[in-house]
Structure 1
Amino acid sequence: MTRPPLHTRRPFLAGLLRQLPLLVVLLAVGVGLLMVTFEHWRRGLVVVGLALVGAGLLRLLLPLRRLGFLAVRSRPVDVVLLVGVGVTLTAFALSIPGA
């Protein structure tokens, strides 16, 4: 006898697991913003930029059913925007002279 799928047995858990990629990205962005708060602005912005690049890679590699709210627009648009903003933010943070 086969078990019913997870989304029918435990819909809350299935929904939570579906949002896991977004949760990972938000935690990384939160860590970066916390670093900015404690005056490590350059490292913090690099962490935020790399989190956005990671979100773009997750959007590119994971199937739609595993992405949850990380999928907003079409795949090419999401990937280009996330990776583009992430690379730009990281490049700006690393190019600004200072301590």
Structure 2
Amino acid sequence: MTRPPLYTRRPFLAGLLRQVPLLVVLLVVAAGLVMVALEHWRQGLVTVGLGLVVGGLVRLLLPVRRVGFLAVRSRPVDVVLLLGTGVTLIGLSLALAGG
């Protein structure tokens, strides 16, 4: 006997589990912003950039039913914006770190 899917048995729990990718991205970005606030701005901005890159990769690899609110626009637009912003932020942070 097969069990019904989680979204029919416990829709609230299923809805929360769909938001885990967004929560991970937000926690990494928040950690980076805390580092910036504590005057470790280079490492903090690289951490924020890595969080955005992780978000872009998650958006690229997971199906839309599993990414929750990380899916805002179409998949190509979300991936290009997240990866592009993350890589640019990391590049600028590392370029400025030379001084």
TM range (shorter): over 0.9
In structure 1, stretches of 5+ residues that fail to align are none
TM-score relative to the length of structure 2: 0.94
1:69 aligned partner, one-letter code: F
Q: Report the Cα distance in structure 1 between the residues aligned to 2:97 and 2:63, rounded to whole angstroms.
A: 40
Aligned residue pairs total 99
Letter in 2 for 1:38: L
CA distance in 2, matches of 1:97, 1:6: 48
RMSD over aligned Cα, in angstroms?
1.2
- Match of 2:72, SS state, is coil
Contact 2:42/2:97, CA 8 A, preserved across alignment: no
Taking only the aligned residue pairs, the percentage that are identical comes to: 74
Offset from partner CA, 1:17-48 (integer Å, 9 cap, x none): 00010000000001000111111110000000
1:20 matched to 2:10? The reply is no
Paired residue for 2:42?
Answer: 42
What corresponds to 2:77 in structure 1? 77
- Shift in Å at residue 3 of structure 1? 1.8
Paired amino acid for 2:35: M
Q: How far apart are 1:98 and its partner, in Å? A: 6.0
Alpha-carbon separation, structure 2, partners of 1:33 and 1:27: 10
Q: Is the 8 A contact 2:18 2:68 kept in 1?
A: yes
Q: Which runs of 4+ in 1 moved over 2 A?
A: none
